[in-house]
Amino acid sequence: MTTATESILKQILESSTPAYFDKGNEARKKAFAQLSEIGLPTSKSEEYRFTPITKALEKRFTWTSSSPASEAISIDSFLPAIGDTHLIVFTNGRFAKHLSKLDGLESNVVVSTFEDADLKTKSVIQSLLGTISKTEDPFAAMNSAFYQEGIFIHVPANIQVAKPILVLHINDAQAKQVIAHTRLLVSIEKGSDLSIIEKSDSLGTQPCLHTFTEEMIVAESATLDYCKIQNDSGSTHQVSNTFITQADNSRVNTFTLTLNGQIIRNNLTIQINGEQCESHFNGLYLVNGNTLVDNHTVVDHQKPNSFSNEMYKGIMDDQAKGVFNGKIYVRPHAQKTNAFQSNRNILMSESATINTKPQLEIWADDVKCSHGCTTGQLDEEALFYLQARGIPYASAKAMLLYAFALDVLTVIKNENLKAHLDQLISERLHKNF
Amino acid sequence: MSKDNQVLEEFTSKEYEHGWNVNLEADEAPKGLSEDTVRFISAKKNEPAWLLEWRLKAYRQWEKMAEPTWANVHHPQINYQDIIYYSAPKQKKSISGLDEVDPELIKTFEKLGISITEQKRLTGVAVDAVIDSVSVATTFKETLGELGIIFCSFSEAVKEHPELIKKYLGSVVPMNDNYFAALNSAVFSDGSFCYIPKGVRCPMELSTYFRINAANTGQFERTLIIADEGSYVSYLEGCTAPMRDENQLHAAVVELYAMKDAEIKYSTVQNWYPGDKNGKGGIYNFVTKRGLCFGDHSKISWTQVETGSAITWKYPSCVLKGDYSMGEFYSVAVTNNYQQADTGTKMIHIGKNTKSRIVSKGISAGKSQNSYRGQVHIMKRASNARNFSQCDSLLMGDQCGAHTFPYIDVENQTARIEHEATTSKIGEDQIFYCLQRGIDEEAAVALIVNGYAKEVLNQLPMEFAVEAQKLLALTLEGSVG
């Protein structure tokens, strides 16, 4: 372990309330032991080669006290215009009950914090929590050791949850730094459908660190739509570890949109643990300034006859850095797997960089797998064509970028959400690029 | 499917055809590695003091380094003290003609079908034959000499052209570049040296056949090729090794240096002993190959056909320093049984308007693991860089693995990078199509695989293309996807 890690760990440990470990929570103790063992990543760590998050933590944060609980924040300006939704609000990593809106849920659908759950639910949480997540990532281990709040969403068999559930994270770093560790545990049982939209925003310019560990268990013939919108302030550091596991005939569509932040790291792991599964995961990062966005995705085909398709696109301007690593594993016996991946990038400035590593690991012979990856800039001729027709340079550029970016939205089924994202992307491209 | 399994079985149980062992009375260094070993090797070769110093410096650096573990290969820990670092075939007096060469050696070549005399007469290829680390015969030297081309063993070059060696040794692969390069720098036994003067187009393919021959001998070759302004050279390297039970370590270093407008084409056919069908024995091939396109408009092209070795760890790279320079990498890597290959390339774009092209074809069968690992790095000042990479994998049977690890790092907005990779098997429809036309299954597989690898095989010089196609067909005899 490096000295940096050591001192940070020591500070974290000293700053955390004893309550974390007093409750006899073996999982937390184990995760903490693991974190102490693996340490925080350095530039030598293969998985964090281009993402100097430990340095940032060292430089910008003090680990003296845990963040204050929710304050009076108005959430109206953060609500996306996507029609009627159920609403779960977190402020500074704590569940804000008074801001949330959970009435009108289908009967038997449970949405509850881990703490407030009734006894029966608590035992379900106990039996599911940590079963599909791994703590090999230092921040997953950190989260598992220190999470302040967790939400459990349970959809029993054969229920189509009509309205999407919006999970809104607001971190208020106006006066003080914020350190938040939150969890989400979702279980969708046989034949059910659920759509989750997660949005994170932050206020102020003080440093903010938010780690997420999210576990989503999608049972047989169930469907999960999951959309993540990251639009934080320029001092936010985020590491999310999202684990999704799929059983036979299930469908999963995920979309990750990153617009802002300081260092944003998304680890998305999809385990295809059943046959005839379908999995689409798309992502788009439109970043400028000093933002670093790092998407690490893993799709692990463990059973035969499934399909996965991944498409991540990115536009980097100013000093922004993009990092992409997409792993496709096809295990022995996962025959007849079709797995596709593509990563396309546009660099807009001299100082923008992209480090991409698409990775295929195949142990079965009767499969179709491919990945493609490109990096380039806007076509001069296309720009000229538009300008020759009287379209100003800036609009022409935005138009072309918009056309480049747009097809990642094909994975979104909710029309309201699609329109909202479309507008968000278009505005961003016109304004900032 | 049972018939498929049966043919697969047959194919996977095929023993190495070039397995035999000629008893040459070797002149060996004592086992183990220390400063004394380095001094012994240097003394044995009558080297000047500066080279000994260079070796010792490398050795001291190596001592401080750790063996890399990032490659996707698994093997028992190598005991570096259990290896003999120098072994020379008995060769007391210096020779002027082939008739003076040890008849045992001549027999060795004849068994391999690469008899020097025959090569000399029929193909016009100048062969610098290396058996266990010491060059024993160099042909066509005079013809090349007339053009000012220097093509000789490394030790000879140290004696006769020390100024060139001093200047370029380690200029492309620094002695402390990596663990195995440092090891090689300390104990390299011999190798080839080649210098093409300004404006000369080398009239023939230069070629070296490597053999590893005495038990427990690591072979540490060192090759240095310098192409001066406006020159051109095509260099061939090919190898077969006798059957052996213990793993043998091979850590070679190849340095290519291309000046303004120069072009170097380097082709390899590697067919060392891959171990038996249970994965016992075989060569560990940990090689550092790198070319530097130093001058503007220079070009380096690597072509490799890798069918042998138990473990291959090899990344022929191009550093594109000169503006408008160009790097190419064409590779076919076949693994079978328990073979493991982790191979690929690095294209480092430094100069403006540089171009690179990567075509890699992996074929894995049996219980083997085949990895492509490559990097395309566009540095900040490398504007208008262009790269195209394609790496395809073909799997035969359901117990092997194919892996792709491409790293693409772009720091300049004007770069245009394309990378694509696919994984597939030989389609039943393709086999069926051939069967319909009266082509039997084996021939069909050979046909399809040859077609699959064509893009790379086409890059090989004539003399090698034949050998490579034969090798592919031989390795894949009886296999059905």
Q: What's the pLDDT tens digit per position in A259-312?
A: 999 999 999 999 999 999 999 999 999 999 999 999 999 999 999 999 999 999
Interface test with A, best of B335, B419, B431 (most A CBs within 10 A): B419
Q: Is A367 a domain residue?
A: no
The minimum CA-CA distance between A49 and chain B, rounded to whole Å, is: 12
Q: Which residues of B touch A359 (CB under 8 A)?
A: 403-406
Predicted confidence band of residue B396 (pLDDT cuts 50, 70, 90) = confident
Closest among A267, A289, A409, A414 to A352, alpha carbons compared: A289
Q: Is A318 a domain residue?
A: no
B149-164: pLDDT as tens digits? 988 888 888 999 999 9
For residue B242, what are its two tokens? 């006798």
CB contact under 8 A, A363 and B393: no
Q: Which of A216, A243, A273 is the last residue of a domain?
A: A273
Q: Is B421 a domain residue?
A: yes
Interface test with A, best of B346, B384, B413 (most A CBs within 10 A): B413
A134-179: pLDDT as tens digits? 888 999 999 998 888 899 999 999 999 999 999 999 998 888 888 8
Of A360, A365, A367, the CB nearest to B396: A365
Lowest mean pLDDT among A397-401, B116-120, B270-274, B275-279: B116-120
At B210 the pLDDT is 47
Which pairing describes strands B206-211 and B126-131: parallel, antiparallel, or unpaired? parallel
Of B70, B405, B411, the CB nearest to A353: B411
Predicted confidence band of residue B44 (pLDDT cuts 50, 70, 90) = confident
- Between B22 and B418, whose confidence is greater? B418
Query: In total, how many domains does chain A have?
Result: 2
CB contact under 8 A, A361 and B404: yes
Of A347, A348, A370, the CB nearest to B421: A370
CB contact under 8 A, B407 and A376: no
Q: Residue B350: CB partners within 8 Å, gap ≥ 6?
A: B319, B320, B321, B379, B381, B382
Q: Which domain holds residue B361?
A: 2-475
Q: Which residues of A touch B421 (CB under 8 A)?
A: 358, 360, 370-372
Q: Is A166 a domain residue?
A: yes
The minimum CA-CA distance between B191 and chain A, rounded to whole Å, is: 35
Q: Is A312 a domain residue?
A: no
Closest chain B residue to A333 measured between Cα atoms?
B398
Alpha helices in A71-195 (DSSP H): 119-128, 138-146
Give the span between the Cα atoms of B131 and B25, in whole angstroms.
12
B333-345 average pLDDT score: 90
Establish if A13 touches chain B: CB-CB under 8 angstroms.
no
B74-99: pLDDT as tens digits? 888 888 888 878 776 544 444 445 55
Write out the DSSP string of A256-289. Answer: EEEEE-SEEEEEEEEEE-SSS-EEEEEEEEEE-T
Q: Is A286 a domain residue?
A: no
Encoded amino acid at A5, one letter: T
Q: Is B416 a domain residue?
A: yes
Q: Is A374 a domain residue?
A: no
Closest chain B residue to A318 measured between Cα atoms?
B413
Give yes or no for a contact between A212 and A146, defined as CB atoms under 8 angstroms apart: no
At residue A409, does pLDDT exceed 90?
Answer: yes
Q: Is B130 a domain residue?
A: yes
Q: State percent of chain B over pLDDT 70.
A: 76
Establish if A68 touches chain B: CB-CB under 8 angstroms.
no
Establish if A373 touches chain B: CB-CB under 8 angstroms.
yes
At B89 the pLDDT is 54
B227-248 average pLDDT score: 75
A191-248: pLDDT as tens digits? 999 999 999 998 888 899 999 999 999 999 999 999 999 988 888 999 999 999 999 9
Query: In total, how many domains does chain B have?
Result: 1
Give yes or no for a contact between A243 and A132, defined as CB atoms under 8 angstroms apart: yes
Q: Is B481 a domain residue?
A: no
Lowest mean pLDDT among B10-14, B23-27, B461-465: B10-14
Of B400, B413, B422, the CB nearest to A377: B413
For residue B453, what are its two tokens? 């690898």
Q: Is A432 a domain residue?
A: yes
Q: State percent of chain B over pLDDT 90.
A: 37
Lowest mean pLDDT among A356-365, B130-139, B285-294: B130-139
Q: Is A103 a domain residue?
A: yes
CB contact under 8 A, B419 and A361: no
Q: State percent of chain A over pLDDT 90.
A: 64
Q: Which domain holds residue A425?
A: 379-433
Give yes or no for a contact between B350 and B320, defined as CB atoms under 8 angstroms apart: yes
Q: Is B480 a domain residue?
A: no
For residue A62, what are its two tokens? 């003090």
Give the span between the Cα atoms of B416 and A224, in whole angstroms.
36
CB contact under 8 A, A371 and B421: yes
Closest among B386, B366, B357, B373 to B456, alpha carbons compared: B357
